[in-house]
Amino acid sequence: MLVWTALLFLPAINALFDVVSLQLSRRFLAKINEDNRYRNILWIVADVLVAIVLLMGLYGTIFLSLDAVDRLLFPAVELFTVARWWELLWQQRDWFHPEILWLTLMASTTLIVTGIHLVFAFAHLFVPLWHRSDKEKIAGLIGQIRSRTAAHPADKVPEADCRALARAYYFPWEHGIVLGTLVLWGLGYVLYTFVIRG
């Protein structure tokens, strides 16, 4: 039973929460693509709240399941030191302690999906593609390519024009992703240092 719990039951619980996290993050990403940069703040807050709920649900399910295995199946033997793990996790908040490192790794698989989504969400806040000047620049480059293609339909589109269009579109995205990642790291550091660790 111990082997089944460690190799099948707990990974199944973690996989369930990973699937839920992935599906919710996909829905939030779809919302980000549909909405403007200001409404994306709402989806960022919602995704953070969902991530917290999923994390609490994952840990709660794991601890309750292990406690149930101990109490119901092996009442005479303490296979899982649930109380000790809970103390390390919540009271001491030593998440990288060797005894509970596996719990932290399980939680990280759920949070990685949310973290990737938050990077893109913050990127949407910083990407200036919605600015009029950027739209006009991209529209102008597209117009030049279409004009040259119409004038010389047998010729290929010059590589320089394609590079200029790609640069005009993706350069703001690159900046947005970098800024989004830095903001996410900064907020995570502040949250961990001043709120979680106290």
DSSP summary character for residue 80: S
**Separation CA 179–CA 177 (nearest Å):** 5
Q: Give per-10-residue mean pLDDT for the chain (198 aa).
A: 64 85 81 68 79 85 85 78 85 85 82 76 66 75 85 81 82 76 81 71
Predicted local distance difference test score (pLDDT) of residue 168: 80
Predicted local distance difference test score (pLDDT) of residue 132: 66
Q: Under a CB-based contact definition with an 8 Å cutoff, are residues 55 and 22 in contact? A: no
> How long is the chain?
198
151-160 burial string, b = 16+ CB within 10 Å, else e? eeeeeeeeee
Delimit the domains of the chain by residue range. Answer: 1-126, 128-198
pTM above 0.75, yes or no: no
Predicted local distance difference test score (pLDDT) of residue 13: 86
If you search the block for the tokens 């996989």, which residue do you land on? Answer: 15
